[in-house]
Chain A
Amino acid sequence: MYLGRVVGCVWSTVKNANLEGQRMLVIQPVTPELANAGQRIICTDYTGAGAGEIIYWVRGREASYALLPKEPATDTTVVAIVDSIHLKPAAAPEPTPPAAAAPPPAKGRKPSRKANSC
């Protein structure tokens, strides 16, 4: 399945009889961060999703199984409306070293108090 956003509707008056009464949506594939990814496609709709909603869609013969028993001539169907996406939090950035890091103490000498004061 693939994430997408509903960006429009398609109207078709003359079509395969099994597609009668079937909504068809224009879907923009998106990344989990909701940035556009790839070209827009047309999907039949199982859910009744509205414009702007995040959905996911199924590709292939399984797309028509969502619309049983009619099994219309479709290869992509919207099967769910996404409420929320929980992504793995990005790795914490490396802690930046202090700007004025004290140089390592010279061998054999006691480090000065000033160098350690930060």
Chain B
Amino acid sequence: MLIARVVGELVATYKHPSHEGRKILLVQPLNLDGTNRGVALVALDSVDAGIGDKVLVVTEGFGACTAVGPTLQPIDMAVIGFIDHIDLLPGVS
């Protein structure tokens, strides 16, 4: 799973039926210190996240499918939770 920030939303009229009725979010993965980590990803929403929220993103098919809906769907990324706070040991960053 990844820590990420929601940076935008997509609109797609023609898409797989399993993506209909779901928010399609652009999420930017983050390092623990809050800096960007790689390029932004597209994830389906399962917790009603919005732009600016710090979220938890699952990046594997089975987890993403079960979070969003039935299995055997072409979904490989989903927002599955909000991150309120991260506690780290001293010296870990």
How many chain A residues touch B (Cβ–Cβ < 8 Å)? Answer: 32
Q: B8, B16, B60, B65: which has the most chain A beta carbons within 10 Å?
A: B16
Chain B residue with Cβ nearest A62: B61
A6 at the interface (CB under 8 A from B): no
Tell me, rounded to whole Å, the shortest Cβ–Cβ distance linking A54 to chain B.
Answer: 9
Chain B residue with Cβ nearest A49: B14
**Size bin of chain B's contact surface:** 20 to 34
Q: Do the beta carbons of B73 and A47 come within 8 Å of each other? A: no
B2 at the interface (CB under 8 A from A): no
Q: B15, B16, B44, B74: which has the most chain A beta carbons within 10 Å?
A: B74
**What would 11 more interface pairs be, CB under 8 Å, given A1-B77, A56-B12?**
A32-B26, A37-B39, A56-B10, A62-B73, A65-B73, A79-B15, A80-B14, A82-B11, A86-B9, A86-B10, A88-B51
Binding site for A on B (CB under 8 A): 6-16, 19, 24, 26, 39-44, 51-52, 60-61, 64-65, 72-77
